Chain A
Amino acid sequence: MNPHHFDIDTLTFTAKEIRGDILRMLEKAGSGHPGGSLGMADIFTALYFNILNHSPEDPLWPERDRVVLSNGHICPVLYATLARAGYFDLEELKTLRVLGSRLQGHPSRLDLPGIETSAASLGQGLSISVGMALAARLDKEKHKIFALLSDGELQEGSSWEAANAAAKWQLDNLIAVVDRNNIQIDGNTEDIFPLEPLRDKFEAFNWIVLEINGNDMEQILQVFESALKMKGRPICIIAHTTPGKGISFMENKYEWHGIAPSRIEMMEGLAELRLEEVAYERN
């Protein structure tokens, strides 16, 4: 069971709050990665507040669904979502990247409950997810493995070794979500190192492929609900997201892959989110 099970409106608002958290965390830390974090806020919200079987009071509950964040640099969205879902206090978000913090610059499994695997080196999470899916099958456990991947990391050969492996074992307990935001550090993905035709590639590797607008809450919920019922092959959801989503001056700009907003930029971004007004209107 999902402990929250929010409706679409509440999910959409929560994603906005998480975007606000991300801006504040990054501004305070003075470094970090807003682009992918903001773009993935809707999917993280849908997972933790509606889709996943999990238990914030018992992060190691054996029956929980596993979320493997492979592109660890977008951990601000993971930390903010975990905090809002009840894994730890929202106050702790302020400690991102600070000496002694559990919120390391990239996720550290040994530091923070709720993190399934330490990550940062791209192209490793899908292999780890395959291992978890194999173990679940071996133990006849029902939980699912959600592998969250970025498009940039599909340039790593190791991602495709894992894709092959998942197909070999027909791991239908594995759902990969690719953040197809078309940015990476040096520029737009299709200019730097083209990935298209991405859907055809996964299909050729014997995966079921579903495509959605990864910033549309209704589509997100629908795709997960249908993916959870599919059988026989691993499932790849190509989620077309807008990097920097919700903050107009960051949207679709690869330059915002990995720099923190200044105080003024944060204020502008928060104003755009209109968190207080929206909260008021909702009541």
Chain B
Amino acid sequence: MKGIRAEMKLAPNLFKNPELKATRAGFGSAMTALGESDENVVALCADLSGSLKLGDFISKWPDRFFQSGVAEQNMVNMAVGLALSGKIPFATSFGVFMPMRTLDQIRISVCYNNANVKLAASHTGITVGPDGATHQVLEDIAVMRVLPKMKVIVPADAIETEKATISAAKIDGPVYLRFGRQNAPVYTTKDTPFEIGKINKLRDGKDVAIVACGVMVYISLLAAEELSKNGIEASVLNCHTIKPIDTEALIKAAKECGAVVTAEEHQKSGGLGSAVAEVLVESENVPMKIIGIEDRFGESGESDELMEKYGLTSTNIVKAVKNVLKRK
């Protein structure tokens, strides 16, 4: 486990059959914890409560759950009303339906009011799989991060999702949380630090900084292992908070490594890579490469087939690093 930073307290079986769990599972358990600890926390869902893992919350606090039916726009604004009356509402759906269908409500009623609404979206990205393009939101980070007052968090695994959800409830104002459908490695631990807006540098390396979010963090760690065999040492930064972005950590990494590769399960334009580029272009303008979806819709297929087809693989990260290093 060369380069892995001890203070990150990652699971010892990081590269040896880590447990697999969908990030949305961490959301379910966090909601149960929040239900216990703060009676102002309420939940809303638009006919997808099983997929959002809200079963436990609903059975424990049926009065604090509001089933909106298939009506996301109404759900978001009901959440606004609840928030403006002192509640801490979590509005939930699939990413394609919320935020995408409810953008106006989110812009004016959530953000312009600075309402204390938490938007939790599952089934984001290409890993949604067989349901196909209609269900694979690849634009949500872009449209959420451009909104004033909105914070955007993309947790890397189920445990981090739990922490992100609980942290989101503790701060005032709008937060967008992005989860996945598919099982993914759980490799952070309860002792791994988490603070909204703070990058976690998981691996130390001097040659290149790989900045990733969501499922791409683990894949970046695999790429770093592979690179290490070729004598290239990569830092791996888990940039779970896309907004507010950790400017300081990004500039530091760019200075130390002199080259940056970003990786996300999202359109190339407007997402994590763009956010990182916006920071670096104004301060530490190093060679950079953005890995993401190349301006197209997804399609039906198994998650891993799609990740392969759309180039969201450790092999592709390794290739991108080698290319970016030539521009150093």
**Could you list which residues of chain A lie within 8 angstroms of chain B, going by C-beta atoms?**
29-32, 72, 97-101, 104-106, 108, 118-123, 152-153, 155-157, 184-186, 192-193
Contact = CB atoms under 8 A, between A and B. Distances in A.
Given A121-B97, A156-B71, A186-B49, A99 B309 contact: yes
Contacts of B39: none
B134 A192 contact: no
A106 B134 contact: yes
Interface in B127-147: 129-135
A97 B130 contact: yes
Given A97-B130, A97-B301, A99-B300, 13 more contacts: A98-B301, A105-B131, A105-B134, A105-B135, A121-B97, A155-B47, A156-B70, A157-B74, A185-B50, A186-B48, A186-B50, A192-B69, A193-B71
A99 B305 CA distance: 8
B135 A155 contact: no
Given A108-B133, A122-B70, A186 B47 contact: yes
B50 A98 contact: no
Contact of A30 (B69, B130, B309): B130
Nearest to A194: B69
A120 B135 contact: yes
B96 interface: yes
Contact of B300 (A98, A122, A157): A98
Interface in B293-323: 299-302, 305-306, 309
Given A30-B130, A99-B301, A106 B69 contact: no
B73 interface: yes
Contacts of A156: 70-71
B170 interface: no
8 nearest interchain CB pairs?
A193-B69, A120-B134, A99-B301, A105-B132, A155-B69, A97-B130, A155-B70, A104-B132
Interface in B252-282: none
Q: Is the interface of A mostly helix, strand, loop or mixed?
A: loop
A104 B133 contact: yes
A162 to B, nearest CB: 14
Contacts of B306: 99
Contacts of A100: 299, 301
Interface string B59-97: 000000001111101100000000000000000000011
Contacts of A119: 134
B101 interface: yes
Contacts of A193: 47, 67-71
Nearest to A103: B300
Given A99-B309, A186-B49, A157 B71 contact: yes
A121 B74 contact: no
B300 A97 contact: yes
Contacts of A153: 70
Contacts of B70: 122-123, 152-153, 155-156, 184, 193
B71 A121 contact: no
Nearest to A96: B300
Contacts of A98: 300-301
13 contacts: A31-B131, A97-B132, A100-B301, A104-B134, A106-B131, A108-B133, A123-B70, A152-B69, A153-B70, A155-B71, A157-B71, A193-B47, A193-B68
B292 to A, nearest CB: 20
B66 to A, nearest CB: 11
Contacts of B300: 97-99, 101, 104-105
Contacts of A31: 129-131
B135 A106 contact: yes
Nearest to A30: B130
A184 B50 CA distance: 12
Nearest to B67: A192
Nearest to A122: B70
Contacts of B67: 186, 192-193
B101 A99 contact: no
A72 B301 contact: no
Contacts of A29: 130
